[in-house]
Amino acid sequence: MIAALNGHTVGGGLEIAMAADLRVARKGAGKIGLPEVTLGVLPGTGGTQRLARLVNKSTALELMVTGETFDFERGKDLGIVNQIWETASADEFFEKVQKYAEQFCPPHKAAKAVGRIKRSVQSGAEIPFESALAVERELQQQLFQSDDAKEGLAAYVEKRKPNFSGR
């Protein structure tokens, strides 16, 4: 899931964006932050937990207790934003986001592998390291049985670009 940030992304908007796998922002289009403290509440839709996992705990705490909002560049420096793109218009930005997203789908990438990578990272981050390695091995074994793994390995050996089918 990719969140496209094209405007102010504060409070609940940032909480939703942090629930995405990747966050792409349009340069100069807005600010981000969790200013809920200025309303006397906390970022209660997962904000306290997701921000602390994206940045270190101390930085997350500081950002939330100050209620600071900041530009996308600082968000990228902190690891909240993955990419910042300069585009002439919102339409151009969303077209670029669409093309970016398409690279993760067949025929460009093996959809099962993308899904298993996501599952391994998300699940593994929540369990002990040894257990996470076991999850990774299990998912890898599943992938080795897929048509896309066969295609990817054959393409590598044959020195050609793979054509993934999603199977």
Catalytic residues: 15, 36
Cα distance between residue 130 and residue 144, in whole Å: 21
Task: Calculate the alpha carbon distances from 112 to 27, 47, 133, 163 in Å.
Answer: 32, 29, 19, 14
Contact of 103 with 164, CB cutoff 8 Å: no
Q: Which of 9, 129, 128 lies closest to 69 in space, CA to CA?
A: 9
Q: Is 164 helix (H, G, I), strand (E, B) or coil?
A: coil
- CA-CA distances (angstroms) from residue 81 to 73, 84, 100, 129, 164? 8, 7, 15, 26, 29
H-run or E-run covering 9? strand 9-10
